A and B are shown apart, each in its own frame.
Chain A
């Protein structure tokens, strides 16, 4: 039952997110707004209930599963993919590797800077 209650709460926050997206014409998806609202709620409340912990653990352990149907959608663009395969695969692989490396290095650099500053302040 804990899973069901937690799942209902997650759906309720998603719905609330989707309502706000329509009301305020937000350019973000409903689930992302729901995530931020739930995070705000947890911060105010100061703890996570058992039901939310149970359902989030179960859902997130199968996060990969939920990307599969959208991924299969690639098959509908067979023609475009075969005519532009080189450009697409190079952009995907090189672009992604470049981004992984640069984000990690920028973050590491900033972290050292900020921690050094925090240290100086003390």
Chain B
């Protein structure tokens, strides 16, 4: 016989155990990757966005809060750190190609910081979005952990910045190759740089599906963006009296 006390203890365990969040994340990802492969690697069926939709639906149905979910989710989130460090390896393997392109990449990066932050800030402002949203969307093109740090620096909402950065990555992963063929860019190294500057890690994951060259350049651009944006964006926004 199961007593009410036991049932309550069981419900607490299932809702707030790290196992629950971990299992939900891994299963949702497995399902999303299977759907992605089924679709013939159609970038619209992006594994990140599909997983996020599945997980949010599961949490809403079961009544598990985000905080309870993240007890397990943070074990996966933790791997983002070593994965970012691991980007050094494909970068190193492409180093001979990257060296000759460092100056054009750096100039493009400088332009991209202005284009990325100001297009997002002004569009939000123009369409009546709050200042808090503007500050949270400004670092959208840096990798998620860095975007969180910058938003915190600027006075935006940290977890909103994380979500918006992830969305930016997904949008780039979905539309990147189409945009590149539309503007007539064919070189994989150019595509990789634009992808990494715009859509950081999620774009880089997509770039590796296209070719190792595009992936390596995307990884390099992402790493440079993360460093340079973290330093320059707060200074630029302060200079233009945003913060």
Known pairs A64-B202, A99-B198; A27 contacts B234 (CB<8 A):
yes
A100 contacts chain B at the CB level, 8 A cutoff: yes
Residues of B within 8 A of A23 (CB): none
Within 8 A of A (CB), among B209-239: 223, 226-227, 230-231, 234
Check if A111 is an interface residue, CB within 8 A of chain B: yes
Q: Which single member of A74, A100, A113, A118 contacts B176 (CB below 8 Å)?
A: A100
Pick the contact of B88 from A39, A92, A107 — CB < 8 Å?
A39
Is B120 at the interface (CB under 8 A from chain A)?
A: yes
Measured CA separation A74–B190 after assembly (Å):
31
Residue of A nearest to B89 (CB): A56
Chain B residues whose C-beta falls within 8 Å of the C-beta of A10 in the assembled complex: 82, 85-86
Q: Interface size class for chain B?
A: 35 or more
> Is there contact, CB below 8 Å, between B120 and A97?
no
Collect the chain A residues with CB atoms within 8 Å of residue B26's CB.
65
Cβ-defined contact, B146 with A95, below 8 A: no
Q: How far is the CA of A64 from the CA of B59 in the complex (A)?
A: 20
Option from B84, B104, B112 in Cβ contact (under 8 Å) with A99? B112
Q: Does B159 contact A (CB under 8 A)?
A: yes
- B129 proximity list for chain A (CB < 8 A): 84, 87-88, 91
How many contacting A-B pairs (Cβ < 8 A)? 320
Question: SS class of chain B's interface: helix, strand, loop or mixed?
Answer: helix
A92–B119 alpha-carbon span in the complex (Å):
9
> Are B112 and A103 touching (Cβ within 8 A)?
yes
Q: Tell which of B81, B126, B164 touches A92, judged by Cβ atoms closer than 8 Å.
A: B164
Some 11 contacts from A to B, beta carbons below 8 A apart, are A11-B82, A32-B84, A60-B208, A66-B83, A67-B202, A68-B25, A71-B48, A80-B157, A84-B129, A92-B168, A104-B190
Q: Interface of B with A (CB < 8 Å)?
A: 21, 25-26, 28-29, 33, 46-49, 51-52, 55-56, 59-60, 66, 69-70, 73-74, 76-77, 79-93, 95, 100-101, 103-105, 107-108, 111-112, 115-116, 119-121, 123-124, 126-130, 132-133, 137, 140-141, 143-146, 148-149, 153, 157, 159-160, 162-169, 171-172, 175-176, 179-180, 182-183, 185, 187, 189-191, 193-195, 197-199, 201-202, 204-205, 208, 223, 226-227, 230-231, 234
